[in-house]
Structure 1
Amino acid sequence: MTDPALFLEAFHFLRPWLLVLLPVIAALWWAARRGRLRAETGAQALAPHLRAALTVGAASRRRLRPLDGAAMAFALAALGAAGPTWSRVPDPFAAQSAPVAAILKVAPSMTAGDVAPSRLERGKQKIRGFLERRAGARTALIAYAGTAHSVVPMTEDPDVMTPYLGALTPEVMPEAGDRAGEALALALAMLAQENAPGGVLLVTDAIDPADVAALNAAGAPLAVLALLPEGVRDRGIDALDAPVAQVTPDDADLARLERALDAAWRRAQLENAEQPWEDRGRWLAWPAAALTLIWFRRGWTMRWAALALVVAGAAFAPGGARAEGIADWFLTPDQQGELAARRGDFHAASDLYADPLHRGYALYRAGRYAEAREVLARLSTPEAAFIQGLAAIRDHAYRNGVRAFETTLERDPDFADAAANLALAKRIVTYVEDAQEQSDTGEQPDLRADEETYDNEANRGQEMEAPAPGDKAEAMPSTEQWMNAVDTRPADFLRQRFALEAARGPAADNAASAPDPSAGPAPGAAGQEAPE
């Protein structure tokens, strides 16, 4: 939890009645310390010079004593037993970051070189850095100038966005201008399709004052990265109520914007009553255990015992001290896998998890779909079958995905996400088989097959082959089909698609944000993933 206000709002104790131990511990400590001091004052009848010569440790009488350390250890143990918490237990099947629609201004003013190498290139660099910081989170990309267009719909794979982000230049935009309001409307339409509250990141060098009112009334968290040199201000940006970060050479601006955009998602997580509160009391056990070490001796000779034991154990450990070995002392494999998953390192998490359900999900998130299906096949839970279905859809084995979702519903008829995914998976199978039937009549549809052959158990039509790069479809493809079948340079593709959308009008932009059926699964109704 990075927002101090949100932390203070959520902080509470799961077992507050145990806090009554604190005044008891304080009373016992005070009584014991006063009794000790009273015993030490028995020599007051002696002459001062004799008392000074006969008293040992008089200078340290008011310093901390082992009794104080023991009392502090008991107090920490009581606090830990009371169950301090400020966050919910993370849902392993839900994304751990808020969905964000990133909006980039692509206008002639962005080619200015006062922010090296240029405002536009620096904006692209910042968006790439933002994607790296949010590894595994759902992010969309929107470009605008005189018109606004969806460049890449919501995706968890930053590699999909990178080539199109690099291709954005003012030349690909149909019209010059500054329509940030239209871009915001398109971003809000994308976020409305998500099942978790998200935010909007606006990367721009200026905002038309006419759009300020719409931006201030966005209805979703908005953060602005101002691509302006130090000392240069913009009237429209200054009038915004949203947090604004001035571009910096390091990632300080991105860190501030990420915290602002995650605030709404974190608040929604706290309000999710289906997830239990995470008990953080275990972290107080370590300082409490360290303080109890000094209780066994009259003096403080044991204060470095804990450090000595750790150093000695590391020095004499077989094969040298390794981070993995030390982690094994304190964390189970599943706990280590959970930490790796929270970092977004699902490859490492899949190797660490011992629980097959969590390991299968980590393999799925790492893109190792065949391995995920093999691991999950050993389980008989509806959750395992559901993730198998997601992995099959990602692996273009649509028939297997249908079977897995059917199995999920057999095991749990009330699994709502499985029912929705089953219907969509059947639609994808029908769509592919219809396309293959058309190939028998020579009516090649505007669809390019994936590198792997689609499953066609019904033997409807011939297996499709990817057209050669020079082939052209007779009919104008839809926006989603262009995203899947483009064989030209990204800049040429974007220029033609944006021109087509501008000619069709604003409705085309909304269609551009619609999910792509062949793009694979996306979050389902309960924060889980569903095929789009």
Structure 2
Amino acid sequence: MTFNQSNRRRQTRAGKQPSLPLRSSVPWVVGLLFLLVLAVGTVRNPHFWLTADQRGDRLFAEKKYAEAAKTYADPWHIGMAQYRDGQFEAAAKTFARVPGADGAFDQGNAWLMGGKYDEAIERYDRALGFRPGWKEAEDNKALAMARKEMLAESSKHRAEESANAYKPQEIKFDLKGENKEGKPTEMNGEKMSDAELRALWLRRVQTTPGDFLRAKFAYQAASAEQPSGTGGTP
């Protein structure tokens, strides 16, 4: 190898050396820009890193049930948010996407709260088919059947007997405006429809169908002790 050839190789190698640090820095620059974009997105949207169900959980905890229902991805969570928001028919249809006993049971609860007693009974039967002897399903089915029977009665006397048969001891309404805890009932001495009672009960507590219907039976029993007058349907 001649001196000139060796010198050219050294010069070639020397000429390439300044470009090496520049090439190796490119991935770092790209990574830094990516992190900056993510940081800006996080500042603008604090929920940037959360999944749809996690965002829904936050809205649910804030009692923003309608928003939570639109945010969730999981059918069961969507149905629960709709249920708490009073969207019982929508909740029942959503719970139909949940397989097995739990899906059928939650469907029954939604139909029961929505006043669709035949549908509720059928779903409870389906839940019991998956899980025989399930006490909660049996109890709620009995409540749905009792309510259906009450609505079918043409005689006021027989309707009152049906209501009294299921009146719980622990719940008693005072139509003067307070319940046993001394809280206003917002009833103002007037009979209330199913929809009005459901809305009232959902505002007051986070409830199950059994809680609601037991309260309704107690309310109707109290109504029977007052002079009859105009008002909503039983």
The interval holding the TM-score normalised by the smaller chain is 0.5 to 0.7
The aligned counterpart of 1:313 is 38
Q: 1:390: how far off?
A: 1.5
Structure 2: distance between partners of 1:383 and 1:491: 34
Q: Counterpart of 1:119?
A: none
- Equivalent residue runs for 1:107-146 within 5 Å: none
The one of the two structures with greater contact order (alpha-carbon pairs below 8 A, sep at least 6) is 1
Task: Tell me, yes or no, if the aligned pair for 1:360 and 1:373 is still in contact at 8 Å.
Answer: yes
Aligned to 1:529: 208
CA distances 1:146-193 after superposition (whole Å, capped 9, x unpaired)? xxxxxxxxxxxxxxxxxxxxxxxxxxxxxxxxxxxxxxxxxxxxxxxx
Task: For 1:431 and 1:481, locate their aligned partners in 2 and report how far apart those are by CA, in whole Å.
Answer: 22
Contact in 2 for aligned 1:346/1:365 (Cα 8 Å): yes
Which SS does the other structure have where 1:413 is aligned? coil
Q: Which residue matches 2:47?
A: 327
Give the deviation of 1:380 after TM superposition: 2.2
The whole-number CA distance in structure 2 between the counterparts of 1:353 and 1:377 is 16
TM-score calculated relative to the size of structure 2 = 0.53
User: What 5-or-longer segments of structure 1 have no aligned partner?
Assistant: 1-304, 447-478, 484-489, 495-515
User: Is 2:87 aligned against 1:362?
Assistant: no
The 1:492/1:397 distance shift into structure 2, 3 A limit, reads closer
Deviation at 1:322, TM superposition (A): 4.4
Q: Which has the larger radius of gyration?
A: 2
Counterpart for residue 412 of structure 1: 131
What are the residue-to-residue correspondences of 1:71-470 with 2, within 5 Å? 312-313=37-38, 315=40, 322-323=44-45, 327-328=47-48, 330-434=49-153, 437-438=154-155
The corresponding residue for 1:72 is none
Please give the per-residue CA displacement for 1:348-398, whole angstroms capped at 9, x wherever unaligned. Answer: 211111111111111111111121111111232211112211111221111
Q: Aligned pair in 2 of structure 1 residues 322, 415: CA closer, same or farther (>3 Å)?
A: farther
Q: TM (normalized to structure 1)?
A: 0.25
Against the structure 1 CA distance between its residues 353 and 414, is the aligned structure 2 distance closer, same or farther, given a 3 Å change threshold?
farther
The gaps in structure 2 that reach 5 residues or longer are 1-30, 161-171, 177-185, 214-234
Give SS of 1:327's match: coil
Q: 1:520: how far off? A: 4.8
* d(CA) in 1 for partners of 2:86, 2:135: 25
In the alignment, the residues of structure 2 paired with residue 492 and residue 520 of structure 1 have an alpha-carbon distance, to the nearest angstrom, of: 16
Q: Cα distance 1:409–1:336, how it changes in 2: closer, same or farther (>3 A)?
A: same
Higher helix share: 2
What residue number does 1:177 align with?
A: none
Report the equivalent of 1:493.
189
Question: 2: CA distance between counterparts of 1:365 and 1:492?
Answer: 25
Residue type at the aligned position of 1:438: S
Shift of 1:428: 0.6
Q: Give the structure with the higher percent strand.
A: 1
Deviation readout 1:55-93 (Å, 9 max, x if unpaired): xxxxxxxxxxxxxxxxxxxxxxxxxxxxxxxxxxxxxxx
Q: Classify 1:493/1:362 alpha carbon distance in 2 versus 1 (closer, same or farther; 3 Å).
A: same
Q: 1:444, CA displacement in angstroms?
A: 11
Q: Could you list the per-position Cα deviations for residues 117-168 of structure 1 after superposition, in whole angstroms to 9, with x for gaps in the alignment?
A: xxxxxxxxxxxxxxxxxxxxxxxxxxxxxxxxxxxxxxxxxxxxxxxxxxxx
Aligned partner letter, 1:363: Q
Q: Does the CA contact (< 8 Å) of 1:417 and 1:530 recur in 2? A: no
- 1:313 CA displacement: 3.3
Matched-pair contact (CA < 8 Å) for 2:113–2:209: no
Q: Relative to 1, partners in 2 of residues 1:481 and 1:358: Cα closer, same or farther, differing over 3 Å? A: same
